Structure 1
């Protein structure tokens, strides 16, 4: 009787150890906290302004998200924004990405969102469709007058460019100067030409638009944003980053 009881107990112990081994073998139990956090992070892809780098986004506070800055690639002769977006989208490797597009980068992001499944998108100081752009600007760009502007002038800053872009403080002016100095003139001219023939009238899905009331590059009166930032100029993503960060975080977490 005692021998049989011992055999039963031994069998039960084996069963308990087998169950425990089964549970700890699951990936969820073997992961360390860092791996879990890494998997939980969603990826935001940033599209900057014409030829600019990630500097404009440096003040945005978006904790919990992995940042990837899209790199502008050389445009092909007579390439449309749609075609350019088709080549640029290869930099997006995450499934259902989050996107933030600034100025011209927002226009390119709109075209990218037509070609891949985007979870959510934010356009800052940008437009959803061609109807939100100034018709005079279209006329100017179609005439090709931008071709006669010297590269040194495109890269330079003065009181007119500071006013036009909404750079008021010394820090704003320094940042704008850095952004313009890094401008690729060839890319800049292609961008203006491609905008002139951009014909999008389709509203992007899962997208919000944030625009400044003092934006002179893309006139505030022509756009119909979800959020208007009082006094925000074209570089408000830098100097009004706190307000914009809160809007973006709220939208991404909804």
Structure 2
């Protein structure tokens, strides 16, 4: 990696993630987009706390505000009003330079379409966040990446390019990559949308295992059966949290 880039990373002053605090804490979060047709209120006064080690499924109709909510938590977008805290860091107050480094260290993101770099092997894709954030010794990164691939069950695919992997294998590599810097929070946006039922179920099993090991998981899904395997279901409707209840419990609203 370019030495100037590493120097810039080192110059970004950020607190270490606090694993003893709530993984996610939102207070009065609102988001308004200005469009050609006028203002659109995507989120309306969201209050939300997710404790460390929870596995939370976020559900709701298309356009309900699910993705906007996730974008607030991951720092991809900023709230118009309110505050967003993740592992003790006020995400809403970070600069653009800080937020890129903060996300690399604190949040692992898993996408529906995997987003693996096609010219890198599975092992190299997992090493990429380590290179970006420079949080592990360069000599240790290949071994750490291989251990993560072992964790998700695809260590035997380490030297293959994404094009030579099945969809399920690519998603497992993507999950390993999201864990590269040992983030306290893992956010998955429709992670099973391109997988068959059996593979999707295996991915959810893996998320449950990670949560049992202390990771906090936030998963956006349209699949009610998969959502029911989380420890809590958060229903978003018209930019508000319409329901938040432990799986199997009746929601009071």
- What is the TM-score when the length of structure 1 is the normalising length? 0.24
Q: Which has the larger share of helix?
A: 1
- Computing the radius of gyration from Cα coordinates, the structure with the larger value is 1
- What is the TM-score when the length of structure 2 is the normalising length? 0.24
